[in-house]
Amino acid sequence: MLSAAHRLRRRGDFATAIRTGRRAGRGPLVVHLAEPVPVDRAPGPAVRVGFVIPKAVGGAVVRNLVRRRLRHLVRDRLDRVPAGDLVIRALPGAADRGYAQLAADLDAALAAALARRARPPRGGTRR
């Protein structure tokens, strides 16, 4: 279980992370990793995590099962995630994945988002 301080709760925080964050998808998961904005946030945990599990994943029981699995997986990986907000969006195939498969998908998606974050911006100008 994630502590309350590590959870994204407000709609605006979700929207900002999705709109401005680095996106990477692997399997039935898409992660959005956003840098922290120091003006908006009071001192607190370095990483906040939110989950988006749409009805397309399944009924309420299935969605909550996927959310619990992802929450547990993320808790063990908090030390690998840089400061900022992380939103994890599950796609319909997430309900069919086992715990180990979700863990592998999450690790791959986080690695891809971190690799995109580490790349220097492209040079040159657009005309």
Q: Each residue of 12-43: pLDDT tens digit?
A: 888 988 898 889 999 999 999 988 765 555 55
First CA to last CA distance, the chain: 49
Q: Is residue 21 part of a domain?
A: yes
Residue 59 maps to which CATH number? 3.30.230.10
In the prediction, which pLDDT does 47 show?
86
To the nearest whole number, what is the mean pLDDT of the chain? 85
What are the residue ranges of helices labelled H in the chain?
Answer: 11-20, 60-75, 99-118
Give the closest residue to 7 by CA, choosing from 73, 75, 53, 69: 75
The total number of structural domains that make up the chain: 1
Does the residue 37 lie in any domain?
yes
Is residue 119 in a domain? no
pLDDT in tens, 91-106: 999 999 999 999 999 9
Spatial neighbors of 33 by CB under 8 A, at least 6 apart, are 17, 21, 22, 24, 81, 82, 84, 85, 86, 110, 113, 114, 117
Token code pair at residue 78: 């908090």
* CA separation for the pair 46, 40 (Å, rounded): 13
User: pTM for the whole thing?
Assistant: 0.81
Q: Answer whether residue 53 is part of any domain.
A: yes
1-11 residue pLDDT tens: 677 788 888 99
Query: Could you tell me if residue 118 is inside a domain?
Result: no
Confidence label for 56 from pLDDT (cuts 50, 70 and 90): very high
Has residue 95 been placed in a domain? Answer: yes
